[in-house]
Structure 1
Amino acid sequence: MKEYDVIVIGSGVGGAITARRLSEKGARILVVERGDFVPRETENWSVRSVFFEKKYKARDAWLDRHGKSFDPGMFYNVGGSTKFYGAAMFRLRERDFEDLAHRRGVSPAWPIRYADLAPYYDEAERMFGVHGDDRPDKTAPSRQAPFPYGPVKSEPIVERMAQRFREQGLSPSALPLAVNAAPAGTCILCPTCDGFPCKIGQKNDAETCGVEPALATGRVDLMTHAFARRLLLSRDAKRITAVEVDHGGTIKRLSAPLFVVSCNAVNSSALLLRSADTGAVNGVANGSDVVGRHYMVHNQTALMGLSHRVNSTVFQKTLAINDWYFGDDAFRWPMGQMQMLGKLQGGMLTANVPYLPAFLADRMARHGMDWIGLSEDLPDPDNRVTLEGDRIKLSVTLNNMDGHIKLVRRMKRALQQAGYPIVITKSLVAHATGHQCGTVRMGNDPGTSALDPFCRAWDQQNLFVIDASFFPSSAAVNPALTIAAQALRAADHIMATDLA
């Protein structure tokens, strides 16, 4: 077997960007991925294939807190879930890194501050070719560099709605988007972006912006169809000696000086828990008993504003509203963010609401304007990932809903005043796994965290966990850019210390 400096487990944002950064600085990397490449094919943009047949989703079944089986909607492939994301790339706000009081508790401070990530946010935006302009956003964090590209322009109907919002005193701003729109590339700004894989490879995801450049260095090998079963420990349990993988039905043990786990918040914590042995009875990196705990996923609600006018917009996902992010005069606690969804199609609605007649779904989609509200859920140690035999159990009780309910009410009123008299809402919190984070949290105290501020495990110093697991709090924006920025920061730390 070839010798590697680092084995990276998982090829989503955290794993892909870590592999790219380390390899570009000269390290030899093996990336282990349980899935395969998503093929570029006609079905990529088929509503039936993606939403009805669920062609690209994993056949996975987890247990909820009542022991009932459910489909978590996982994607196991090169590039992880970013192959299907909406390409929104937000920075956390400065205050998100500090203790932040909510109506139902306190969102804890991070062991780093915004200034520690700011230069890496700049780099991550360049890597992902982010388009944006956050100057109208009153909550936007300071930045040392402008967006790599200007905002994706809103189509006339969306811009008309934005103007109606401004007349209400709101400040809609451009959604920061990682797409290869002109002049960056040949993205055609199609309606099959949010929730679909890109048939022409113009959505900037973990594969195109992480895995492909890493492989191009010639110092990275990619092993697909390789499921990481467990991590193996040294006799004193202070180091990882190997990862045991099921590679297409063959069990293999892979070794390197350093290991990076980047499987997503649920699967990374499950891997650490599965790796328990006599020297680590609660699991790897779990001397503090926090691994699997503090699961967060955002409180989320979709809104569809309906009017008599046909919405002919093709690429709809261009606006965000952060006016209520930290509260307002009537509700002084944080509420969260509103952002546009990609244009919903009738088949997408009937796939998720089976009793909805197809003709009605089509009519709603033609007349609808689609948004999603994201609010912070608070880290609760009893919201957690555990194992029942070889099955994952995800036990979650909703919290901090006050602000979210206020946010949805405000947005509903804003849409009505903007000319959409009927607003339909749908809660997206049941069995939610999108934006999952928090299960292997970082901190300054080994007694209350699993990782140090560079994502190194306190208990096993040659192990790093670099995905949204490390989040001490969820904030109220998409996590992808923060994962990428911290991956760059952690990789630089690895090069300056372990691989110096």
Structure 2
Amino acid sequence: MKSAQYTADIIIIGSGMGGATLAAALAPTGRKVLILERGDRLPDTPEARDPAAIFQRGHFKPNETWRDISGAALHPGNYAYVGGNTKFYGAVLLRYRAEDFRPLRHLEGTTPGWPIAYADLEPWYSKAETLYRVRGDVAGDPTEPPHSAPYPFPPVPDEPDIAALRQAFAAQGLHVSALPLGVDIDAWLKRARTGWDAFPCTTGAKSDAESCALVEALKHPNVTLQTNTKVTRLLSEARRVTGVEVERFGTRETLTAPTVVLSAGAILSSALLLASANDDHPTGLANKSDQVGRNFMNHNLTGMVAYNPFRRNRTTYEKTIQVNDFYLTGGPNGEPLGNIQMLGRITGPILAGESGLPLWLSHHIAEHSIHIMAMSEDLPDPNSRVFWRNGEVVLDWRKTNTKAHDLLVKRLKQAMRKAGWPITLARGFPKSKPSHQCGTNRMGADPRTSVVDTNLKAHDLDNLYICDASVLPTSAAVNPSLTIAALALRAGDHIAKAQP
């Protein structure tokens, strides 16, 4: 029976992809769910679709400072709003490939595999695609794993210049397929004619955690969202979390629930566990294995501007196709290289803000170029990690698998030249961008080498679950959002059955 002093039956810390999706899964159970979000709802303002405000003035970036391992300041691109980073994500909702769940040999190491198989997660992928209104098509991609249900909507249509690029890639023997996307393109363009990648959704046209999962969860009177609530510490005794310390509008209080779920993201979830050390857990909560904060992964990402002064790019959103011919092979001995997918449309103000080039030159380059991205797996490394020092987050990201990524970038440059875009300007994503951060509280069957079990419950605590990108054992080479959502739905099913 629930004790009268409990604030809720289940407290979920964070309203991003993991937390909001879990809330949607638990809402029909009737149990009292309290979602804590450190930010507020993002209002619909002119800046929401203003590329200069977003990319040049950093209008939406949080006033937050972390440190790198040398102590230098690091200003993260993570966002503190209801819906978390999904408010600004590119809405690519790809499944991991079936091979990603098994050990996979790369140029610079072998991934450990997962404690569950693709088949264990597949039904939840289908449910997540329905919840997030994914537009896609399984045809054309040789690496696409089996689906038990079709995509709920057809793919977002290619614009003419992207259709031409698709044909040019196909002429080279490449297999081009539709990017699975969570965006209602007609509704999105009705608000303003921009791309959606890195633009916040304030109208529900993009399938982010707020507009899909949270909307569903809050239809139920037993679910409450509390904004502007920063969790500072988890209290615990022996094997139970006994309280959640929060700051809200200058006051501190402790909230309690029989079950607590941490969904603050790969960096902040692990930092909070480390900050919650006590006599029973001297190295941090859930950290008997010494794995909390370790194995940080962030993908190897290179954005490419492929330029031709005699051609124009007439697209508005651009981001509709992908190539996975090098996903499972392509290395000197058949090693995987990664995924190729379109970037969102880069305009003059965006390029000026990202590159520092003069606006006039940025306009010219943007109008005469195609924008595409290479993404390779970042392998888990226990020395790539998050620390909590002197009340601050410290990030020591050690990139791996860079040889494979360099080879993928080379292959992409060759393909773009053959497609009629001969001058390629490539730039890697900096560590400040939240480019698919994951891995710091890894899932595993062995408590000695992992933080949570296959149901996302912490090995060391009986009432703590972790439900976000931090539990991913590997980063694969696809966007992680749909996998986080599928894991959240699976965990929600388990928690609903396990709760009295």
Structure 1 residue 331, shift from structure 2 partner: 4.7
Deviates more, 1:395-404 or 1:326-335: 326-335
Deviates more, 1:185-194 or 1:466-475: 185-194
Partner of 1:421: 422
Partner of 1:33: 37
Alignment TM-score, normalising by the size of structure 1: 0.97
Alignment TM-score, normalising by the size of structure 2: 0.97
Partner of 2:491: 490
Taking structure 1 as reference, are residues 331 and 366 closer, same or farther at Cα in structure 2, changes over 3 Å only?
A: farther
- Of 149, 156, 159, the match for 1:152: 156
CA contact (8 A) 2:329 2:337 kept: yes
Deviates more, 1:205-214 or 1:265-274: 205-214
- Of 43, 46, 52, the match for 1:42: 46
- In the alignment, residue 333 of structure 1 is paired with which amino acid? E
Structure 1 residue 211, shift from structure 2 partner: 1.4
- Of 224, 233, 237, the match for 2:236: 233
Partner of 1:61: 65
Partner of 1:475: 476
- In the alignment, residue 64 of structure 1 is paired with which amino acid? D
CA contact (8 A) 1:172 1:321 kept: yes
Structure 1 residue 108, shift from structure 2 partner: 1.0
Provide the aligned length of Structure 1 versus Structure 2.
494
- Rounded to whole Å, the distance in 2 between the matches of 1:331 and 1:137 is 22
5 Å matches for 1:68-467? 68-181=72-185, 188=190, 190-234=193-237, 237-307=238-308, 308-328=310-330, 330-354=332-356, 356-467=357-468
CA contact (8 A) 2:53 2:59 kept: yes
Structure 1 residue 53, shift from structure 2 partner: 1.9
Taking structure 1 as reference, are residues 331 and 159 closer, same or farther at Cα in structure 2, changes over 3 Å only?
A: farther
- Rounded to whole Å, the distance in 1 between the matches of 2:145 and 2:271 is 34
CA contact (8 A) 1:238 1:461 kept: yes
- Rounded to whole Å, the distance in 1 between the matches of 2:381 and 2:246 is 32
- Of 20, 26, 29, the match for 1:22: 26
CA contact (8 A) 2:6 2:258 kept: no
Structure 1 residue 46, shift from structure 2 partner: 0.6
Residues 215-273 of structure 1: CA distance to partner in whole angstroms, max 9, x if unpaired? 11111111111111010002xx2000110001121101000000000000000000000
- Rounded to whole Å, the distance in 1 between the matches of 2:107 and 2:354 is 32
Residues 36-68 of structure 1: CA distance to partner in whole angstroms, max 9, x if unpaired? 001012110011221122121111111112111
CA contact (8 A) 1:238 1:460 kept: yes
- In the alignment, residue 250 of structure 1 is paired with which amino acid? T
- Rounded to whole Å, the distance in 2 between the matches of 1:482 and 1:329 is 26
- In the alignment, residue 166 of structure 1 is paired with which amino acid? A
Structure 1 residue 187, shift from structure 2 partner: 5.4
Structure 1 residue 199, shift from structure 2 partner: 3.8
- In the alignment, residue 151 of structure 2 is paired with which amino acid? F
CA contact (8 A) 1:84 1:197 kept: yes
Structure 1 residue 25, shift from structure 2 partner: 2.4
Structure 1 residue 419, shift from structure 2 partner: 0.6
State the identity as a percent. Answer: 43
Structure 1 residue 200, shift from structure 2 partner: 2.6
- Rounded to whole Å, the distance in 2 between the matches of 1:44 and 1:181 is 16
Gaps of 5+ in 1: none
CA contact (8 A) 2:188 2:206 kept: no
DSSP 3-state at the match of 1:221: strand
- Rounded to whole Å, the distance in 2 between the matches of 1:426 and 1:477 is 19
CA contact (8 A) 2:204 2:211 kept: yes
- Rounded to whole Å, the distance in 2 between the matches of 1:489 and 1:398 is 30
- In the alignment, residue 229 of structure 1 is paired with which amino acid? T
Deviates more, 1:214-223 or 1:286-295: 214-223
Residues 387-446 of structure 1: CA distance to partner in whole angstroms, max 9, x if unpaired? 121111001222111110111100100010001011110111444432000000010000
DSSP 3-state at the match of 2:218: helix
- Rounded to whole Å, the distance in 2 between the matches of 1:157 and 1:134 is 22
DSSP 3-state at the match of 1:477: coil
